[in-house]
Chains A and B, each alone.
Chain A
Amino acid sequence: MSDIVLETRGLVKEFGGLRAVDGVDFVLRRGELRCLIGPNGAGKSTFFHLLAGTLRPTAGGIRFKDLDLTRLEPHEIARAGMGIKFQVPRVYDQLPVAENLWLSAHVRHGRAAAGTVADRVLDEIRFLQHRNTPVGHLSHGDRQWVEIGMVLAAEPELILLDEPTAGMTHAEARRTADLVREINRRATVIVVEHDMDFVRHLAAGVTVLHRGAILAQGSMDEIRDNPVVRDIYLGKRRRARG
C-alpha cells in the first residue's frame, strides 16, 4: 500500500471558455499538512469543489485512497472519509450548536454514539457554553469554529479547509492555526489560505496555484525565495500594502 492519500492527474475544469483548473497533478501523502495558496482567481476554490464532488471535472482523474472520486456523489465522498469546510460557513443557523455537531458525527459514529462525540468536540473547540445556542445567534468567527467542529466530529481521514480564518480576528486566526496543527496529528489536511501570517505560523508544505496550474511547491521559505512566486503573488501583495 502506498501512503498517498490523494492524487489528481491532469485535472481540468472548464467553465464555458475559461479553464479554472488547468491540468493539475497534485499528490498528498498520509499525515501531511499542505497549504494551498495563490492569488484570487488562481483556481483554488474550483480545485476544492472538484475534490469535494460538488463540481465534476472536465478531464482528468482524482483518487482518494483507492477510490475514483470522479464517479462518486458528494455524500459518498464524505462517507469515504473526506471532511470539507467551505469558505462560506455551511452550518444550520436555526439549529443549536450541539445538533449541528450531532448531524456531522452521526454518519460515522452512529446515532447512539454521536451525542458523546458532539460533547467531546464542544469541549475541544471550547464551545460548551454555546451548547444550546442556535448557530445563527453566533458571530461570524464563531460560526467558522462551529464548522471546524463539524469537520472534527466526522473524524475524517482527509480534511479540506477553505479559508478557515476568513472573518476572524488576528488572535482567533492564531488559535485556529494551533487547532489545525492539532487536527493534523489525526488526519491529513489541506488548507487554502490568503493570510500569509497564518500560513507561516502553520509551518507546512506549500503549493502555489496560478491560473489554474501548479506554479511551485515546497516549504514556506523556498516559496518565499522563488522569484516567480514573489513576482506574481507575494511581491504584488507587498507592493499593494505599500
Chain B
Amino acid sequence: MDLLAVTAFGTVYAIATLVLLALGLAVIFGMMGVINLAQAELLMLGAYTVLLATSHGASVWAGIALAPLVVGLIGVVIERTIIQFLYGRMLDTMLATWGLSLALVGTVTLVFGPTTEGIATPLGYQTIGRYSIAHYNVFVVAVALGALGLTYGLFNYTGWGLVARATMQNATMVAGLGVNPARVYMATFAYGSALAGLGGAIMAPLTGVVPTLGLAFIAKIFITVIVGGPVILLGTTTSGAVLGLVESIVSYASTPMYGQVAMLAFAIVLLRLLPQGISGFWRRGV
C-alpha cells in the first residue's frame, strides 16, 4: 500500500517535471513556431540564476523567484537581436539558435567553470511507512500545476492572450487592427523564456548545476511538445502525462536508462500512429 502510494506520487512527479520543463517550449515552438535549439540553455540559465542567488547569500526560494525574471529578460534580448529577423525561416532559426546554444554553454563554462555545482535541496521528508517523499518534490508538482494553470488562463481568458493567439494565427491581420505584431512576438518569446527559466530553476537543487545541464532535457521536451500536437497546452500536458507515465513505469520495473529508452520508443510509435500528435484529432472532434 505504501509502495503503491509512493510509486503513484513518483509517476505524478515524473509527469510534472516533464510538463514544467516543456511548457516554455510549448509556447515558443508550439505556439510561435520557433524551433529554438537554445531552449535547453534557457533552462540552464534559470538554474544558474538560483546558483548565483544562493552563492550571494540569498535563499533558494529567492533564486527560484528571480529566475523567470532574469531569463525572461534574456529572452527579450535574444528575440530582439536574433529571433525577430528569422520568423518563418525554419532552417535559419535552427542554425542561429544552435549557434546561440553553443555560445551560451561556452560562455557559462568560461565564467563558472565546467564542474557540477550542487544546491542543497530545501525542505524535509515525509515518511510513508518504510518509504519517504521529499517535500520539495511535492513543491515541484505544485509549481508545475501552477505554471500550467497560469499559462492556460493567460492565453485563453485574458485580452493579451487573445491578441497573442490572433497574432500567431495571422500577424498581418492584427497589424491591420492596430496591434504591433513585433511587440506581441517579443512578449510571447519572453514569456516562453521565463517559463524555461522557472523550470530550470526548480530543477537546479535536484540535478545540480552544470553548463551542459540542458542537454539532458532538450530531446525530451521537444518530443513532448511534438507528440502534444496542435492543441498546444492541453496537448503538451497530455503527452507529458503519457510519456512520463511510460518512463516512470519502465524505470521502476528496470532502470531509469531503460525508462528513457522506452519513452523515446513509445513517442516514435505514437507519432507513427498519430502523425499530427495526440491532440491532432481533437480539432476534428470539435
**Interface size range of chain A in the complex:** 20 to 34
Supposing A75-B180, A92-B169, A92-B170 touch, asked if A99 and B162 sit within 8 A by C-beta, the answer is: yes
| Interchain CB contact under 8 A, A90 and B159 | no
A52 at the interface (CB under 8 A from B): yes
Chain A residues with CB below 8 A from B170, complex form: 90, 92
Chain A residues with CB below 8 A from B165, complex form: 95
A108 at the interface (CB under 8 A from B): yes
A78 at the interface (CB under 8 A from B): yes
* Residues of chain A in range 80-130 having any CB-CB distance to chain B below 8 Å: 84, 86, 90, 92, 94-95, 99, 102-104, 106-108, 111, 114
- Looking at B23-31, B131-139, B171-179, B214-222, the stretch in contact with chain A turns out to be B171-179
| Interchain CB contact under 8 A, A78 and B169 | no
A154 at the interface (CB under 8 A from B): yes
How many angstroms from the CA of A90 to the CA of B170 in the assembled complex?
A: 9
Chain B residues with CB below 8 A from A84, complex form: 176
Report the count of interface residues on B (CB-CB < 8 A): 17
Question: Which of A54, A86, A95, A107 interacts with B177 by CB under 8 Å?
Answer: A107
| Interchain CB contact under 8 A, A90 and B176 | yes
Chain B 178-200, CB-CB to A under 8 Å as 1, else 0, gives: 11110000000000000000000
Supposing A73-B175, A103-B177, A108-B178 touch, asked if A95 and B166 sit within 8 A by C-beta, the answer is: yes
Question: Which of B159, B172, B173 interacts with A92 by CB under 8 Å?
Answer: B173
A12 at the interface (CB under 8 A from B): no
How many angstroms from the CA of A36 to the CA of B136 in the assembled complex?
A: 69
Supposing A75-B180, A79-B178, A107-B178 touch, asked if A90 and B173 sit within 8 A by C-beta, the answer is: yes
Q: Which of B162, B173, B177, B180 has most chain A Cβ within 10 Å?
A: B177
* Residues of chain A in range 13-70 having any CB-CB distance to chain B below 8 Å: 52, 54
11 further contact pairs, Cβ within 8 A, besides A79-B178, A103-B166, A103-B174: A52-B176, A75-B174, A75-B181, A78-B175, A78-B176, A92-B170, A92-B173, A94-B169, A95-B165, A104-B177, A107-B177
Q: Which residues of B contact A (CB under 8 A)?
A: 159, 162-163, 165-166, 169-170, 172-181
24 cross-chain CB contacts under 8 A: A54-B172, A73-B175, A73-B180, A74-B172, A75-B176, A75-B181, A78-B175, A78-B176, A78-B177, A86-B176, A90-B176, A92-B169, A92-B170, A92-B173, A99-B162, A102-B159, A102-B162, A103-B162, A103-B166, A103-B174, A103-B177, A104-B177, A107-B179, A114-B159
